[in-house]
Amino acid sequence: MPDVQTLVNDFVNQLKKRKIEGSQATAKQTAELLRSVISQQRVPQTNQATALINAVRAVGEKLIAANPVELAVGNIVRRVLHIIREEDLSLATAAIAGLGLSATTVDKGPRGRKLKHDVIEAVNELIQDISTCYEQIAEQAVEHIHQKKK
C-alpha cells in the first residue's frame, strides 16, 4: 500500500487541477483518504483520540487549502473529526460505567485498538452512506412528487 503522504499529495494535486468532478465523488474519495490516514496512523498509549484528530485535521487543512471552493471536502473532514470524538466518548463512557475506572486510567490498554477499529468502521459506514445517498433519494422521490398536485 502506498505511503499516506503520497496518497495525500496525489489527492491534493487532483483537487488543485479540479480533476474530480461532482461533490459525491469528491466526498467519497476524501472519506477513503481519511480512512487510510486513520488506519496507518500510529496511536500512543494515551490520548489516542487526540493523535487521530491531529492527523485528520492536518490532512484536512491541506485538502481544504487545495480547493477551498469544494465544500464537500471540508464537510467530510468535519464529519470524520466528529466520528472520532463520538467514538472516543462512547468508549470512555462505557469503560467508566462498566468497569468503575477513573478517567485517568481509561486511555490505557486495548482501548486504543478498539477506538481505531470503531472509527474506521464508522468511516466505512460514512463511505457507504455517500455511495447510496442518490439511490435512496431517488427511491423516496416518487413519494414526494405528485403529478396531479398543483
Lowest mean pLDDT among 72-76, 84-88, 106-110, 121-125: 106-110
What's the number of CA atoms in the CB half-sphere (13 Å) around residue 20?
22
Check residue 106 and give its pLDDT.
44
User: What pLDDT sits at residue 142?
Assistant: 79
- Model pLDDT, residue 107: 46
Q: Does pLDDT of 102 surpass 80?
A: no
* Whole-structure pTM value: 0.82
| φ, ψ dihedrals at 51, nearest 5° | -65, -45
